[in-house]
Amino acid sequence: MTNKKFAMEHDKKIALVAHDNKKRDLVEWAKYNRDLLAHHKVYATGTTGQILERELGFEIAKLQSGPLGGDQQIGAKIADQEIDFLIFFWDPLEPQPHDPDVKALLRMAVVWNIPIACNRASADFMISSPLMDGEYDRLVPDYEGYRTRKIAKSKGQAKAEESFPKAGYNISTDLIIVQMTLER
């Protein structure tokens, strides 16, 4: 598969997300890195965004709370190239009611090859990288072949075509079209 380049500009678009038991850690990290974060566009889910905005003193683009769709909103922004990287302090010891959304968010970050930090140490390494203050071309697989791939027929569809080949039936991938041929 070939790759496409997506340019990350000097000012990055950063998503900050934290589970309830990790919000304090994320806020402490963000306060320590306030000056670095201030010249970037920062997004956050729900309550995390409200706390960060109050503590950091600059505007945070606030989305829904994670369990109310915020994780999915962040994932959609990643897919639309509106977020350059994700800092997500998630709690590995506490089950979350929206675990499928969390997994989907992390999956989007991997699919679109954006950097992910899931704890303070990885967030420290990311934010202090020399790549933070410059442009960067992120390589992303070219998914055009995947989008335009031929879809295999289902077993039921193939069986129907086997059963009725001479009866004048034409089975479409989306619906069955019955063609009747009248012999005169």
> What are the catalytic residues?
71
Paired tokens of 15: 């998503």
Q: Residues 13, 84: contact at Cβ < 8 Å?
A: yes
The helix (H) or strand (E) run that includes residue 15 is: strand 13-18
Residues 6+ apart with CB under 8 A from 173: 151, 153, 157
- How far apart CA 54 and CA 70 sit, in angstroms, is 19
134, HSE (Cβ side, Cα atoms, 13 Å): 6
